[in-house]
Amino acid sequence: MLPAERGPAVIVSRYGIRDLRIGNEFLLWDSIEDVSVRESRGCRAVVLTPTPALRQQLRCVRSRRAISPQSDTDFIVIDPAGLATDLATLLRACQACHDASERRTALQQKSRHDAQSFAVKAS
């Protein structure tokens, strides 16, 4: 959990991420294609690139909330401003969790195709 001045605002776990400042949705890492940094107007932020399926889902949610259909759903911006951490720490946490998710998914896919291999979670 990455706290803001009034309690946790961004939750990064091995399963996904939630930024309570922009919505209540918990986004699974499986629905994120890439984690990167973008600079705009001198401010840097972590940018999550959603999969096409998540993009479509976000468009539907936003259109129901009467937000302009031209809203940018191609990226999800996690701004470190107001958090009790810096951009580098936030980025490392997001990338580590996203990478771990990709490795878990690869192990699960391999175990489905190879009857002699399996994945076991560490205790």
The tens place of each residue's pLDDT in the chain, 123 residues long, gives 555 556 678 889 889 998 888 888 889 999 999 999 999 888 999 999 999 999 888 777 665 444 444 455 588 999 888 888 889 999 999 999 999 987 765 555 555 444 443 333 332
Q: Token pair 């911006």 is at which residue? A: 77
DSSP letters, 2-46, are: EEETTEEEEEE-SSEEEETTT-S--EEGGGEEEEEEEEETTEEEE
Tell me, letter by letter, the H, E, C secondary structure of 61-109.
HHHHCCCCCCCCCCCEEECCCCECCCHHHHHHHHHHHHHHHHHHHHHHH
